[in-house]
Each structure stands twice: as C-alpha cells, then as structure tokens.
Chains A and B, each alone.
Chain A
Amino acid sequence: MSELRPDLAIIANHVGGGSRVLDVGCGDGELMDVLRAKQCDARGIEIDPANVSLAVARGLSVVQGDADTDLVNYPDHAFDYAILSQTLQTARAPDQVLTELMRIGRRAFVSFPNFAYWRVRLSLAWGGRMPMTAALPVSWYATQNIHQLTIDDFRAFVKERGITVEQAWFLTGTRRSGDAAANLRAEHAVFLLRR
C-alpha cells in the first residue's frame, strides 16, 4: 500500500483504535482503510462517484454525498471523530460544515492548506499572480478551493465559536514544522477540535 498523505498519517495515528469515525470527503477511502485495520467503525462521504465506487469496492461504507448538504442527516454525537481533510476550503459554506462536524462528532480533525504560507505570500505579493504551489497546484479558474484560509484565520474562526483546539500539527511538504510562526512557515495544518 502506498504511504498515506502526511496529514492523513497524523490523523490515522491519533484516532483511537475501535472508534466510530466519519470521514467527510474520504476520497477513495485510503484513510478509512487504515482506520479499519485499527478496528474502527469507519464511514465515509465522498462527492466523486468514481472515488465512491473504488471505496465501496474496497468494502468500505462510503456514501456518495456532499458535505455542504448531507451532514444534516446524521444524528448528534453519532461519531467519536468526524474528519474533514483538505475539504473545508472546498465547501460552499465552510462555517456550516464545521458546525455540523462538531455536532456529529465528539471530536473533529480538520486539515487544510495554509494560504499564508510564505511561498504563497511571495507568489501573490511579488508575482502578483494567484499562487500555484505543491499544496495548491491548480489554476485559479479550475481550483476547487473556493474558500482559501490561513492558519490564523482558522484559529480565530474556532475561537469565535467556542470550539477548543486540543492539538495542532503543522507540515511543510511531507515534514513536520514547528509551532513557531506556523502561519508563515507551514504549508498545511491539521487541527484536532473538541466541542
């Protein structure tokens, strides 16, 4: 099996074995596959039918659906963890998605690309063009990332909503980077949230 994406590896390592997990935007189910091996009851939602087929053919419980519209159908506190990896910035209403996430899961993992990463800033400030980096590889007109955000944006956003940050991890490329000046130095962030 190929190696997990770094943010997924962090999440996989910190989900307790045997937990109930909802992976929102689960792709072809690579994280769910790892969680299943940890005896987790993993469920997924994925918008792309080809990915859903791949995940179901792997024997995973994945439903085709949209984080923006379908989370309302899950009962309160149905999962130990709700996971939103690299999906928040693609939502039409990220604030509502996060509210639903915190309602459904007792805890939530959220990972996203940091738009204040120094290479992104440089590209915009000096190049005057919408950034295209390893984490943001798609042109402005084709990107699914319609709600770009920074680590500091996210911190302020959860604080306003009274959500507790239990832990945060920062990544540059595949390597972990420190907490210091993460908003400038980190390309990705993973947050573990609690109501």
Chain B
Amino acid sequence: MTDDSRFGLARTVTLAGPLKLDGGARLAPVEIAYETYGALNADGSNAILICHALTGDQHVASTHPRTGKPGWWTRMVGVGRPIDPARHFIICANVLGSCLGSSGPATIDPKKEAPFAMRFPVITIRDMVRAQAMLLDHLGVERLSAVVGGSMGGMQVLQWAATYPDRVRSAVAIATAARHSAQNIAFHEVGRQAIMADPKWRGGDYYADNDPPAAGLAVARMAAHITYLSEAGLTEKFGRRLQARAGNKNGAKSFGFDADFQIESYLRHQGISFVDRFDANSYLYITRAMDYFDLAEEHGGLLASAFDKATRFCLVSFDTDWLYPTAESRAIVHALNAAGAPVSFVELSSPFGHDAFLLDVPELNRVVDGFLRAGENA
C-alpha cells in the first residue's frame, strides 16, 4: 500500500466527474487535494475522514506549505492522539471551493483557459460532501469508521450522516450547527462586503495581475476572528492594554489611528497573515456555502428526518462559543433523540470561545477518544 501513489501527504487527484451541484451546474473535472495518514486495514474498517473548517485545509497533521506551521489539528490527530495513524486510516481533503489545490474560483476553467474567478459555480456544504464521497470511491474506502470535524467541518459531518448514512458508522460534530443563523449570515456578509468593496477585487478577476484584494480580505478575517473568540478571553488576553512602543514598553495613546491597543495590533496581524495563505474569492464561495446550510430545509423542515439510526453521533459544544452556541448542538441532539439515533453530547467549559475546538482542551480529547473506541469495539 505504501507504494500506492493515492496515499500519503500532499496528494492531488483529478476526477472526471461530472459532479452535479445543488445549484444545478455540473463540475467536470473535479480536482481534490488531500492527505492520508496511516494505512487502510484489510477489511477497510479503520477509515476516518476529517472535515476542515472555513479557512482550514488538508494539512491536518502535516506542515502547512505556505506558512510552515504545524498541522491545524495536531492536538487531535497524531500518534497517541484520539485519531491515530497507528490505528486509523486518516483522510483529510481540501473542500470544494477552497484554494489549497481543490477545485475553486482560482482553478483554471478548461473552457476559457483562465481562472474561473466568479464564474465558478456557487457550491453548498452538500456539494463539498459529495466531492469527498467521490474521493473515497477513488481511494477504495466504502465505509467510514468515523467522520470528524469542528465548525464548518461539523456541518460536513452532519451532512455526511444525512446524505450517506450507510457510509458513516460514527459522526463527531464539534462546535457546530445544523443551520446558519441570521447572526451567522450577518457576520459573513460583512466579510464578503469588505472583500467586494476593495477596488482590487475587480469583480473577482484579480488573478492575472497577481494583485489580490488583500485589504478587503484582511478586514473580513478581522471581523470573523472576533467571532471565534470570547469576550472574557479577549479581556484576559488583551484587556485595554496598550501596544508597546520604542522607548515606552507600556505604550501610550497616540491620539491618532495607529494600533494603540494590543487587540487592534493582534487583529491587524491576524488579517495580514491570513491573506498570505487564503484566496479572497474562495472566502466568498465558502462563506456562501455555510450561509446556505440548513439541514432541516433539505428534509421538509424537520431536522429529525435528516437522520436515521445507522450512525452513532457525538456532539460537543463549548460554553463560551457564541458563534455556534450550545443551543444549536442541543437542537441537533433533540432531533437525533426523536430519530432514535444513538447520541452523546456534552457542553465543555473553555475560556477560548468558538476556537476552543482547535485548542488544548484535554476533556475534548478524552470524549472523542472514548466515543471512537466504543464504536470500534462494537
């Protein structure tokens, strides 16, 4: 298996398709960038698909090629971790619409021999999941032992269980929701408008000049980043402290519009570093897919109808997450109870807000580990 070029880090595959999209378009071919860790066992029962969040990527536990930083979920994925390449065959794919190698607005449109830009079809969470299912077919994985993800990754997890119940044994959905609320959509719209208001956006056709709407994308990231943190966490980390300056390590008000406060400086840094690794048009497409997400809507308005008893579920929320608060997870739990599906749910305490799912929360690891092992031993 180690000789099989389908498996390993930094893989890309071009699938013939067509992938029929919820919006009516057909995408062909479909490019998917992905990574695998560990080896598929003889009976194909140890595969785990990890779904990444809005600005995440396939480098779940390997060094990011652009930033040089370690994988985004090394706390959860790795030797001795709950998701362990020694035990599991782990797959993580860049979502459709993104910019780390999977088909998206920066991909060359074969008909025009130029990037799709805004001519790329609008996609949905279900389209992302369908593309992942095509990848699993290519990899020879019939059934997943588990599909795991947080935030938008959690939406894909729920969508997987709803769309392919026979292919998912266990589902772990962390800090997520079964639909985007008006508030969620509102924050995303602020981000999109920031990008589109940047004169460099030019209707999305900025690739040829290699001069992207970095300022707009940075503002979008700054606004979104606030929603990933908690008020208490911000107060603890920054409070009203001022930024140190040359000759004054305690800082001073400038009576101007420099980044006086540490929180301003932090957000600006978050915005600026983000534009180096992410494409503005991808940000538009993926936030749109999240806003369209409403799992109940696909099932006659009743979330319970989205699920059957074939899949066991584990949901986790965090008490300081106001982006996808506990009430959203509870609504999913209630639907799963009504459907008779086996479900575990816990609200964990963390000061880190929505971002907690990416950070060091030992209890999260214990819960995920216990849940996955119980599914493997059943």
Q: Chain A: residues with CB nearer than 8 A to chain B?
A: 41, 43, 49, 52-53, 55-65, 70, 73-75, 78
A64: chain B residues within 8 A (beta carbon): 345-347
Within 326-378 of B, Cβ neighbours of A (below 8 Å) are at: 330, 333-334, 337-338, 340, 342-349, 363, 366-367, 369-371, 373-375, 377
B338 lies within 8 A of A75 (CB)? yes
From residue B308, how far is it (CB to closest CB) to chain A in Å?
Answer: 14
Enumerate 16 A-B pairs (CB-CB under 8 Å) in ascending A order: A49-B346, A52-B346, A53-B366, A56-B314, A56-B367, A57-B370, A57-B371, A59-B373, A59-B375, A59-B377, A61-B343, A63-B333, A63-B343, A63-B345, A64-B346, A65-B330
A49 and B366 CA atoms in complex are apart in Å by 13
A49 and B349 CA atoms in complex are apart in Å by 9
Question: How many residues in B have their beta carbons less than 8 Å from beta carbons of A?
Answer: 26
Question: Mask for B308-331, Cβ within 8 A of A = 1, else 0?
Answer: 000010100000000000000010
A62: chain B residues within 8 A (beta carbon): 344-346
A19 and B349 CA atoms in complex are apart in Å by 34
Apart from A53-B367, A56-B314, A57-B369, list 6 A-B contacts with CB within 8 A: A59-B373, A63-B337, A63-B346, A65-B345, A74-B337, A74-B338
A64 and B333 CA atoms in complex are apart in Å by 9
Known: A49-B346, A49-B348. A60 touches B374 (CB 8 A): yes
Ranked 3 nearest A-B pairs via Cβ? A59-B374, A57-B370, A63-B345
Known: A73-B338, A74-B337, A75-B338. A56 touches B343 (CB 8 A): no
B349: chain A residues within 8 A (beta carbon): 49
From residue A79, how far is it (CB to closest CB) to chain B in Å?
Answer: 10
A58 and B374 CA atoms in complex are apart in Å by 7
A70: chain B residues within 8 A (beta carbon): 334
A73 and B363 CA atoms in complex are apart in Å by 27
A63 and B347 CA atoms in complex are apart in Å by 9
Chain A, residue nearest B339 (CB): A75
A55 and B367 CA atoms in complex are apart in Å by 9
A63: chain B residues within 8 A (beta carbon): 333, 337, 343-346
A41 and B312 CA atoms in complex are apart in Å by 12
From residue B324, how far is it (CB to closest CB) to chain A in Å?
Answer: 16
A65 lies within 8 A of B366 (CB)? no
Q: Specify which of A43, A52, A56 lies most central, judged by the most chain B CB atoms within 10 Å of its CB.
A: A56
A65 lies within 8 A of B367 (CB)? no
Choose one: A49, A58, A73; the contact of B370 (CB below 8 Å): A58
Known: A63-B343, A63-B345, A64-B347. A56 touches B371 (CB 8 A): yes
Chain A, residue nearest B369 (CB): A57
From residue B361, how far is it (CB to closest CB) to chain A in Å?
Answer: 11
A61 and B377 CA atoms in complex are apart in Å by 14
A43 and B375 CA atoms in complex are apart in Å by 15
B367 lies within 8 A of A57 (CB)? yes
